[in-house]
Amino acid sequence: MKYRTDIDGLRALAVVAVILFHLGFLPNGYLGVDVFFVISGYLITSIVYGRSEKGKFSIIDFYERRIRRIIPLLLVVSTVAFLLGLVYMLPDDLENLCQSVVASNVSANNILMYLTSADYWAVKNDYKPLMHTWSLGIEEQFYLLYPFLFYAMGGPRLKYVKHVLIALTALSLGAFLLQDSVAATFYFIQYRFFELAIGGLGAILFSKVVIERHEQGRMVLYGLLGLITLILFLPIIPTNELRVLLTTMITVGILIIGKQYFESDRLYAGLMANPAVAFIGNISFSLYMWHQLLFAFARYAFLEEITPGWAIVLTGLTFVLSIITYYGVENPFRDRNVMSTRTVLLFTGGLFLLSTSAAFYVYTIGGIVKDYPELALYRDQLPEQRNFFSGSDNIHISYNENVWDLDRDFSETDKIKTLVVGNSFGRDAANLLLESSVSDRIEVRYAEWKELREREEMKSRLLAADRIILAAQTYIDQDYLASLEEAHGITIDRSKVWMLGTKDFGFSNGIHYNRIQDDTDFQNYRTAMKGDVLTINEELREEWGDRYIDLIELLANEEGRVLVFTPDGKFISQDTVHLTRSGARYLAERLQDRFDRIFRG
């Protein structure tokens, strides 16, 4: 198979789009990954199909080539991410990074991202150094299955492989179009298979077809290049599904038609194979692997915002690291004359075991690799129980989750019966009450929003409660009370109901952790809040009037920037939305007078 210099240009276009997307400058740049998928399917199928035709296809050889191409750099990058995480990250974030290291190393970060960060476009993903390896998970799962199709269809059966591939492509495309879950279609191989397979079909169906070169063909090729550029760089397509489909079809069109022109057409070669573009295309895998790691740690530890100036600096550093690993890792490991198979397997196997086991161990201790006084977490206080994919007993959420023990009926008591209703923000509200000066005269019980309406036994709690405290992250109006009354056939006394307000502590605690010094003025150290928190807070205040307990008012200054630490230097929130014990105690103290009035005998 003759080397396609124009494919380097496609790779360059794709990786530049992805980099600009992760810098926050190109909303559709994520589609560069779809371009990569089609290219991968086209090239892999061209090689595998060609070898199968000659009766020379070997699964062992296929996997050796894939290992040499992908695994060494992946392990180097995931190991560097792990080491940087040990230095710069708070334990909860380090624990999450360790999950990603293990998942990336075993080609499953797409599955982990689906389970933990279903919204790919969520701001929190900007702070995840290995978030982008989800796409490698897709490709490696494809490679795990794909060669067996050609192995099973070898010899005289090879002529039917295109029919099987067409059927599988149709199934995958149908599943993609019919699946309602955006997260599922984004992260799972069954919904992405068609992109790689369409590239493969382009290679098979046009492997021996020679398209006559003429002016109309050139115009079509230039038109496809213009279209793919517009789709990647301008928000002209309304839905993600249509963007993906158009990107896939246009990319395979360029690959098919470009095959006839990449050597003969000077303009096409000038655009797609000039030295600068070709070099970017050659190092595109290293660029892809390093860029998100650098951007994420920059955001996490140093920069509140990646400005155009910092974008240039970080992109330059990405290029430097990529050049180093292209010549120092990618090329040597790919070349069998430089690196023997035994050496490749020893290196990749050793680094895999070392990085995976180290990351898994740090995960099991909740990322607490040293003392973190800002979170009141200390090594000598580690729980005996290790963290093995735990839920509510995870050390970082256990304070909030312990409130589930209060999901029970009131007892016979003279204390003021207080029902807290909400979600995790409701559990924060319960902790506020339990840490307050009124805790000795109230009996706190807890109920989830949905369950309070649907569970029959909740009726007795509503009737027995002397006080009802609602708490939520988003806007909740008084119609919710009417829905409870309708569900249970009761009337709720509005005079015993209060709404505890929303709260937010910015985008990441990491930058604050890495900035604080011995002389930090914690009583005035503040950060900006996310999104529309102030708008929601104002809407809640207007809805609930004097029955609104405004937390933002206690935390924010006139510019809308909120406190991050208690006066003694403890984080108010461990994840920027939920309260630490120190944060609950601090806010409870500031709410003392309000609580005294609410829970007056």
CA pair distance 239, 237, nearest whole angstrom: 6
Q: Which fold has domain 398-598?
A: Rossmann fold (3.40.50)
Exposed / middle / buried, residue 524 (Cβ in 10 Å: 0-12, 13-18, 19+) = exposed
How much is the pLDDT for 385? 62
What pLDDT is recorded for position 209?
A: 65
Q: Lowest-confidence range among 101-115, 201-215, 269-283, 477-491?
A: 201-215
Contact 101, 82 (CB under 8 A): yes
Residue 211 has a pLDDT of 62
What does the pLDDT look like over 45-79, one tens digit per residue?
A: 999 999 998 889 999 999 999 999 999 999 999 99
Give the model's pLDDT for residue 383.
67
Q: What is the mean pLDDT of residues 292-304?
A: 96
Single-letter amino acid code for the residue at 532: D
Radius of gyration of the chain (CA): 28
- Mean pLDDT confidence for 252-270: 90
The SS3 call for residue 444 is strand
Token code pair at residue 58: 């070997």
Question: 409-420 pLDDT, tens per residue?
Answer: 999 889 999 999
Percent of the chain exceeding pLDDT 70 equals 97
CA–CA distance, 507 with 159 (Å, rounded to integer): 55
Distances, alpha carbon 123 to alpha carbons 25, 37, 343, 531, in Å: 14, 24, 41, 10
**Model confidence over 362-371: pLDDT tens digits?**
999 999 999 9
Convert the pLDDT of each residue in 173-219 to its tens digit.
999 999 999 999 999 999 999 999 999 999 999 877 666 667 788 89
Query: What is the secondary structure of 165-181 as a DSSP string?
Result: HHHHHHHHHHHHHH---
H-only helix segments in 395-478: 398-401, 424-434, 449-454, 458-464
Q: Is the pLDDT of residue 575 over 80?
A: yes
- Contact indicator for 509, 564 with CB cutoff of 8 Å: yes
**How high is the pLDDT of residue 477?**
86
Question: Cβ(77)–Cβ(129) under 8 Å?
Answer: no
**Which pLDDT belongs to residue 518?**
86
Lowest mean pLDDT: which of 111-120, 419-428, 568-577, 584-593? 111-120
Q: How far is CA 491 from CA 447, 481, 522, in A?
A: 18, 9, 46
**Contact by Cβ (8 Å): 403, 471:** no
Distance (Å, rounded) from C-alpha 392 to C-alpha 399? 9
pLDDT at 397: 87
pLDDT at 212: 64
What mean pLDDT value characterizes the chain? 93
Closest C-alpha among 433, 413, 412 to residue 421: 433
Least confident of 29-38, 348-357, 472-481, 532-541: 472-481
One-letter amino acid for residue 189 of the chain = I
Looking at residue 576, the DSSP 8-state letter turns out to be: S
CA 280 to chain centre: 26
Going by their DSSP bridges, the two strands 416-422 and 442-448 should be labelled as: parallel
What are the sequence ranges of the domains in the chain? 5-361, 398-598
pLDDT, tens digit (0-9, with 9 covering 90-100), for 121-157 = 887 899 999 999 999 999 999 999 899 999 888 888 9
- What confidence score (pLDDT) does residue 437 get? 94
pLDDT the model gives residue 539: 93
pLDDT in tens, 324-354: 999 999 999 999 999 999 999 999 999 999 9
Please give the pLDDT value at position 1. 64
Give the model confidence (pLDDT) of 162-175 as tens digits: 999 999 999 999 99
- Predicted confidence (pLDDT) per residue in 444-461, tens digit: 999 998 888 888 889 999
Residue 218 has a pLDDT of 87
Strand order through the sheet with 442-448: 442-448, 416-422, 467-471, 497-500, 548-549
SS3 448: strand
Encoding tokens for residue 213?
Answer: 């070169």
- CB atoms near residue 68 (< 10 Å): 20
Contacts of 102 (CB under 8 A, 6+ apart): 356, 359, 360, 363
> For the residues 354-381, what does the mean pLDDT come to?
93
Lowest mean pLDDT among 209-223, 381-395, 491-505: 381-395
